[in-house]
Amino acid sequence: MLSHTTHPGNIGAAARAMKAMGLQHLYLVNPRHFPDAQASAMAAGADDVLQNAVVCASIDEALQGVVYTVGMTARLRDISIEMKTPREAMPLVLQQAATQPVALLFGTEMSGLTNEETGRSQLLVNIPANPDFSSLNLAAAVQVMAYELSVAAQSFVPSAQSLQPATHEQVEGYFAHLEKTLYEIGFFTTQNPARMMQRLRRLYARARLEPDEVNILRGILSVTTEYNGRLKTRFDEDQKHVQKH
Amino acid sequence: MLSHTTHPGNIGAAARAMKAMGLQHLYLVNPRHFPDAQASAMAAGADDVLQNAVVCASIDEALQGVVYTVGMTARLRDISIEMKTPREAMPLVLQQAATQPVALLFGTEMSGLTNEETGRSQLLVNIPANPDFSSLNLAAAVQVMAYELSVAAQSFVPSAQSLQPATHEQVEGYFAHLEKTLYEIGFFTTQNPARMMQRLRRLYARARLEPDEVNILRGILSVTTEYNGRLKTRFDEDQKHVQKH
């Protein structure tokens, strides 16, 4: 999954790298130019991957149905989302992919993933590089990841799935509900909403929510709002009562 | 070491891949265009690797002083030179590189290594790929190898060197001497010389000759020629003798 790719040549080269390693499902989130002659030229025979590429208008559209999103990063950021090397990550990716869709998410060439995209990842992967020159080309990063995935797949034996993870849209539905609720109850009057949501996303990314848990958490949110609504009604009534006397 | 590279963009992208993985010594054997603006554009900050690249007129010039040459191949050829995956190969490469120069040799884009180049390799490496589309881009192959080397280097502990291998030019000196001798003694009258030399190269590639052994083998060749020379002289004398009678 390539997000906001600037150079169509990189899309073509990524398609070629994928196909050579036996991968085929390419998703493009808001590519600057696509389809494009340069993409086709760089694909060099992986035209089918380009032709079947799914172009999406947003990251959430692209992640529909995905249960495990791995975000690529060149920075060793100070955040609490789990970070692994490609080799460490692949058994986890394969374990999830054995039953449900997973995504490897590559950001734009110049600046990588946005905070919004990082917040939608359950795992971050950093390709170890020269500390003085960590500038991997986008297609080169795709090549390394596709290669590692392909090598890992050859010796992978799926273990019994202990977790039935919620899909991307279930988790995002919860976050939207949570944010709305936190606004309603006035939690954000003393907190930076964006920063707080980022921290809550990290917490739940580590937890890997199951669909039942999403339902429970959203149930709590609903009750919170109702309770808050009842409190508000009672307060309003009390005020009226006070005013009467 | 890139041999007969057609597209200068690939040289630049390879330089970038190398630098990002902490490698710097690029050798170019007869590149079609170099230096070149497209190479510099694709290097994207790895200009120092390009500027320090050593351009050579022949593979033998490029391999001067090298004790271990790893040839890249996309084909699983039916030959007896040892073939490994990148991951299997790297400990061997690092073991050799701990004391003396080694080379990773990449052939031309369209057809890979020539038989001559394969014959100069002590090990062949094949990047496992989609059997229906094994077309890795040259720079992508460099990226995978540089990545594997870099990952392997982080956990590598050199073991005691059991072998002191001969340099490329010592081994090639032996092969030239051997071929000349086989011609002189008339061995090639019943054999295809090119095919026979290829088989002998494979045998000695497995053996990993030491300098002393090269001296011993060349000593045998010298004696063979002298002996053959004496035989010839005696034969000529006998013929004269026969003619006298």
Place of tokens 């060439």: A109
In terms of pLDDT, which residue wins out, B65 or B226? B65
Do residue A16 and residue B46 have CB atoms under 8 angstroms apart? no
The complex's ipTM works out to 0.76
The mean pLDDT of A194-201, rounded to a whole number, is 86
Is residue B36's pLDDT more than 90? yes
Does A19 touch chain B if contact means CB atoms closer than 8 Å? yes
Sorted by where each starts, the structural domains of chain B and their CATH numbers stand as 2-154 (3.40.1280.10), 168-244 (1.10.8.590)
The partner residue sitting opposite B134, judged by closest CB among A20, A127, A147, is A20
State the nearest Cα–Cα gap between B46 and chain A, in angstroms: 8
The mean pLDDT of A230-236, rounded to a whole number, is 75
Chain B residue with CA closest to A74: the answer is B20
Does B143 touch chain A if contact means CB atoms closer than 8 Å? yes
The mean pLDDT of B17-36, rounded to a whole number, is 97
Position B243 scores a pLDDT of: 67
* Highest averaged pLDDT of the listed ranges A8-22, A88-102, A223-237: A8-22
Give the burial string for B197-217 (b: 16+ CB within 10 Å, else e). Answer: bbebbbebbeebbeeebbeee
Position B206 scores a pLDDT of: 76
The partner residue sitting opposite B133, judged by closest CB among A13, A19, A85, is A19
Chain B residue with CA closest to A143: the answer is B140
A190 band by pLDDT with thresholds 50, 70 and 90: confident
Is residue B52's pLDDT more than 90? yes
Position A239 scores a pLDDT of: 76
Percentage of chain A with pLDDT > 90?
58
CA distance B107 to B110: 9
Is residue A81's pLDDT more than 80? no
Position A161 scores a pLDDT of: 61
Chain B residue with CA closest to A48: the answer is B133
The tens digit of pLDDT for each residue in B207-224 reads 788 898 898 888 888 887
**Chain B hits for A134, Cβ within 8 Å:** 20
Q: Is the peptide bond before A101 cis (omega within 30 degrees of 0)?
A: no
The mean pLDDT of A18-37, rounded to a whole number, is 97
Does B144 touch chain A if contact means CB atoms closer than 8 Å? yes
A145 band by pLDDT with thresholds 50, 70 and 90: very high
Is residue A198's pLDDT more than 80? yes
Which of B224, B215, B221, B206 is closest to B84 using CA atoms?
A: B206
A186 band by pLDDT with thresholds 50, 70 and 90: confident
Is residue A160's pLDDT more than 90? no
- Burial classification of residue B38, based on how many CB atoms lie within 10 Å of its CB (0-12 exposed, 13-18 middle, 19 or more buried): middle
Position B200 scores a pLDDT of: 84
Is residue A158's pLDDT more than 90? no
The tens digit of pLDDT for each residue in A89-140 reads 999 999 989 888 999 999 999 999 998 899 899 899 999 999 899 889 999 9
**Chain A hits for B110, Cβ within 8 Å:** none
Sheet with B102-105, edge to edge strand ranges:
B83-84, B123-125, B68-72, B102-105
**Chain A hits for B18, Cβ within 8 Å:** none
State the nearest Cα–Cα gap between B84 and chain A, in angstroms: 13
Q: Is the peptide bond before A35 cis (omega within 30 degrees of 0)?
A: yes
Position A202 scores a pLDDT of: 81
How many Cβ pairs closer than 8 A exist between chain A and B?
86
Chain B residue with CA closest to A87: the answer is B151
Among A84, A110, A143, A149, the strongest candidate for a mutation testing the B interface, having the largest count of B CBs within 10 A, is A143
Query: Poorest-confidence range of A43-47, B110-114, B188-192?
Result: B188-192
The partner residue sitting opposite A147, judged by closest CB among B19, B133, B144, is B144
Query: Poorest-confidence range of A216-225, B82-91, B109-118?
Result: A216-225
User: What average pLDDT does the structure give for chain A?
Assistant: 89
Position B102 scores a pLDDT of: 96
Is residue A9's pLDDT more than 60? yes
State the nearest Cα–Cα gap between B148 and chain A, in angstroms: 9
In terms of pLDDT, which residue wins out, A194 or B160? A194
Position A80 scores a pLDDT of: 63
**Chain B hits for A22, Cβ within 8 Å:** 129-130
Is residue B93's pLDDT more than 80? yes
**Chain B hits for A152, Cβ within 8 Å:** none
Percentage of chain B with pLDDT > 70?
95
Do A204 and A171 meet the contact criterion of CB atoms below 8 Å apart?
A: yes
Position B77 scores a pLDDT of: 66
Residue B22: helix, strand or coil by DSSP?
coil
Do residue A140 and residue B22 have CB atoms under 8 angstroms apart? no
Position B245 scores a pLDDT of: 60
Do residue A45 and residue B135 have CB atoms under 8 angstroms apart? yes
Residue B149: helix, strand or coil by DSSP?
helix
A204 band by pLDDT with thresholds 50, 70 and 90: confident
State the nearest Cα–Cα gap between B116 and chain A, in angstroms: 27
DSSP, residue by residue, chain A? -EES-S-HHHHHHHHHHHHHTT----EEES-SS-S-HHHHHHHTT-HHHHHTPEEESSHHHHTTT-SEEEEE-SS--S-SS-EE-HHHHHHHHHHHHTTS-EEEEB-BTTTB--HHHHHT-SEEE-----TT-----HHHHHHHHHHHHHHHHHT--PPP----PPPHHHHHHHHHHHHHHHHHTTGGGGS-HHHHHHHHHHHHHHHT--HHHHHHHHHHHHHHHHHHHHHHHHHHHHHHHHHH-
Among B6, B19, B155, the strongest candidate for a mutation testing the A interface, having the largest count of A CBs within 10 A, is B19
Angle at B38 (CA atoms; ends A145, A46), nearest 5 degrees: 40
The partner residue sitting opposite B147, judged by closest CB among A44, A144, A154, is A144
Do A44 and A17 meet the contact criterion of CB atoms below 8 Å apart?
A: no
Position B224 scores a pLDDT of: 78
Position B205 scores a pLDDT of: 83
